[in-house]
Every structure is written in structure tokens, then in C-alpha cells.
Structure 1
Amino acid sequence: MKIMTVCGFGVGTSLLLKMTVDSILEEEGINGYVEASDMTSACGNSADLILTSKEIGEEIEGQVSGKLVYISNFMDKEEVKEKILKAIRN
């Protein structure tokens, strides 16, 4: 499973979210590759899941291939975990 975390510049928030997702995947025993990206690089790319904010998601929708998952609070590991697991199951 490929997961992409996307923020405006691909260096701060997306890296933090990537580390959180890596931790969740390990805890849950899910094999996956997580890549942090900026908006421009994400466009034209594909992933099984694309985690980002609602604002960025609305800008890149239709330009990326994969299921967009909106995260409200990137610092809330429980929110991230809940949304990832729900997206994987659906």
C-alpha cells in the first residue's frame, strides 16, 4: 500500500504526518510505503491513500490518483489512525 502525505511545501507538515502514519502502520501490522510530498509534486502522482488538509485536498482533487483522506489536526494521532483504518476498510 502506498500512502502519500501532502502539504503546501512538502517539508514540514507532510513529514510530521508521514512519521505519524509510519508509526500507525507499524502498530497495526500494515505493510505500506509512506511518502511526503508538496502539492505540485503530488499532482500527477498516484497512491492508494492521499492524506492532506481539506483545503489542499480541494486544490489537488482530480489531479492525483487515489483516495483523498482529509485530516483536520495533523498532530492528533488518534484522528489520523481512525481515518486511515476507515479508508483502508472501505
Structure 2
Amino acid sequence: MKVVTVCGMGFGTSLMLLMEIQDMAAKHGIKVDGEAVDLGSAKGKSCDLMVASSEIAGELQDESVQVISIDNLLNKAEIQDKVLPALQAIEAGKDK
């Protein structure tokens, strides 16, 4: 599945977030391909899920995919609690 992580500049924060999501997903047997992008590049991207900081997520609410807002990008527990159920639901949907 493809996950797009979004931050203001498209590197740094979004890349860190993507690596954390990929690591967490791998531990649960889910393969995540991803892309770290800036807000302008994120709009209209083809993906299964978008994840962004709470400041940026509001700008993505018109996207056709689920957008997950993360309040503290350094909080691995928050990332797992919010993102893992979405990844598992997408995986379950693909099995049908």
C-alpha cells in the first residue's frame, strides 16, 4: 500500500514520519511504500492513506483518501495508535 506523509517542506519531518510508519508496519507484517512530500505536492496524490502533522492535516481534508492528523510527531505511541488501525483496515479491504 502507498502512504504519503506531508510536512511544510517535504523532507525532514515527513521523511522521519514515513520511516516510523514503515518500521511500525513491517513489525505487523504490512508492507508500506511511501513518499514524503510538501503540502503543495500532496494535493491530488494517488495513495491509500495520508499522514500529516495536525497543523497541515486540516489543509488536506478535501483529499479523496483518509488523512490522519498527528499532534506530536515524536510520539511513537500516538503514531501507532492512529496509523496502525488504518493500515490494518486498508489491508483487510484489499483481501476481499
- The structural deviation recorded for 1:48 is 1.3
Q: Deviations over 1:32-88 (max 9, x none)?
A: 2121110010011122110002221111221x3310001111111111111112223
**Superposed counterparts of 1:53-68, under 5 Å:** 53-62=53-62, 64-68=63-67
SS in 2 for 1:14: helix
> What runs of 5+ residues in structure 2 fail to find an aligned partner?
90-96
SS in 1 for 2:81: helix
Tell me if the contact between 2:50 and 2:67 (Cα under 8 Å) persists in the aligned partners.
Answer: yes
**Superposed counterparts of 1:42-81, under 5 Å:** 42-62=42-62, 64-81=63-80
Tell me if the contact between 1:2 and 1:33 (Cα under 8 Å) persists in the aligned partners.
Answer: yes
Tell me if the contact between 2:22 and 2:31 (Cα under 8 Å) persists in the aligned partners.
Answer: no
Q: TM (normalized to structure 2)?
A: 0.83
Identity %: 40
> What runs of 5+ residues in structure 1 fail to find an aligned partner?
none
Higher Rg? 2
Which segments of structure 1 move beyond 6 Å, counting only runs of 4 or more?
none
Which structure has the highest strand share of the two? 1
Tell me if the contact between 2:48 and 2:65 (Cα under 8 Å) persists in the aligned partners.
Answer: yes
- The structural deviation recorded for 1:89 is 4.4
Q: Please tell me the residue identity of whatever aligns with 2:32.
A: G
Q: In the aligned structure 1, how far is the partner of 2:66 from the partner of 2:73?
A: 18
